[in-house]
Structure 1
Amino acid sequence: MSKMVLTEQLVQIFCKLPEPGKVKTRLEPCLGKQGAADLYGELLERVVARLKPCFNTELWYARTGTVEFLRRFPRLEQKQQVEGDLGERMLYSMSDGLARSEKVVLVGSDCPQIDSGYVAQAFAVLK
């Protein structure tokens, strides 16, 4: 039986919730726990702003704290990552995406230079 494809391309943004002491911990000596969390949140917002207008996009979050932050993205499909190591979580989300889309690109949430052109190149490689 063939899968029903709802979309040709899907971008999945993998993230943690920006909880102080849980993200960007190597930057804490310079920025403090709250500063590191704030930076992470800004990077995530930047990735969403660059990719959401151009692609069917989902936000896959690891539940590390309160989901209050997710209210910043009311028009973005949000899914909680499954338990397990990073590889298991990525495999699950990719499998979920491929059940609904022909091509899936998974990106990290703190890639300050990622843009739609870079992701479009990734989709082009996935022939």
Structure 2
Amino acid sequence: MRKHHSNLLLIFTRNPELGKCKTRLASTIGDNAALRVYIFLLEHTKNITAGLDAEKRVYYSEEIWHDDIWDAEEFSKKLQQGGDLGKRMVNAFQQGFQDGFKKIIIIGSDMYDLTQDDLQRAFKALEKTDFVIGPAEDGGYYLLGMKKMKPELFKNKAWGTKTVLNDTLNDLKSEKFILLQERNDVDLYEDIKDIEAFQPFLKHINK
């Protein structure tokens, strides 16, 4: 039986299948290496979230995998619902608030830069403010947290483009929010080519 938390962490993942994840990265390093990079990032995400003092829900993109790295004792498993990323996120947040959680944060699973301290800071920030955002270097965000529902954050966004952060901040103009430190998510070869941890996955193109 899990203890009851007021904090909820939503982790959005893609099912790690060949040719279906990290496609922009794969265009440079190939499907096999891109899949290995994504599995490495999933492991990192699991490691930084496992000990966090919060309820944790992993939302799969395609189907729930029962026998994988996400231990069902530690992580609840759900399926993303909705036609685009905005609908999928709003549905996950709404479910969390309906279930009685007070502070809800969502992250993806491709953030090598992210630490457990970052997540703890984000939950702590929500003690002082209603919203918290982690801006990504590419113009999106890697983390969004809230204490109250604001559906417009998930509407009229060109998901996956560099306008997402600015459009989201415009929606928050009349709200209290805290911006976290900027971080880099992994989408392109340029995001990992100079990071030592990724070199084993890049040997075939660095010869």
- For the criterion TM > 0.5, the same-fold answer is yes
Bin the TM-score by the shorter chain.
0.7 to 0.9
Greater C-alpha Rg: 2
Note the alpha carbon deviations across 1:70-121, whole angstroms, 9 max, x for none.
5222332110100310000000001111223111100011111111111112
What are the within-5 Å matches in structure 2 for residues 17-96 of structure 1?
A: 17-55=15-53, 56-63=55-62, 67=65, 71-75=68-72, 76-96=75-95
Note the alpha carbon deviations across 1:4-55, whole angstroms, 9 max, x for none.
xx42111111011111221111221332112111211110111111112113
Listed as ranges, the gaps of 5+ residues in structure 1 are: 1-5
Higher fraction of strand = 1
Letter paired with 1:73:
W
1:97 counterpart residue number? 96
- Contact kept in structure 1, 2:64 and 2:77, CA below 8 Å: no
How many angstroms apart in 2 are the aligned matches of 1:45 and 1:105? 19
2:114 counterpart residue number? 114
How far has the Cα of 1:66 moved from its partner?
8.1
How many angstroms apart in 2 are the aligned matches of 1:125 and 1:95? 20
SS at match of 1:13: strand
Percentage of pairs with the same residue: 28
What is the TM-score with the length of structure 2 in the denominator?
0.53
1:3 counterpart residue number? none
2:7 counterpart residue number? 9
Letter paired with 2:17:
E
Higher fraction of helix = 1
Letter paired with 1:119:
L
How many angstroms apart in 1 are the aligned matches of 2:103 and 2:27? 40
How many angstroms apart in 2 are the aligned matches of 1:86 and 1:105? 15
Letter paired with 2:70:
F
SS at match of 2:106: strand
- Contact kept in structure 1, 2:64 and 2:79, CA below 8 Å: no
Letter paired with 1:112:
Y
- Contact kept in structure 1, 2:82 and 2:91, CA below 8 Å: no
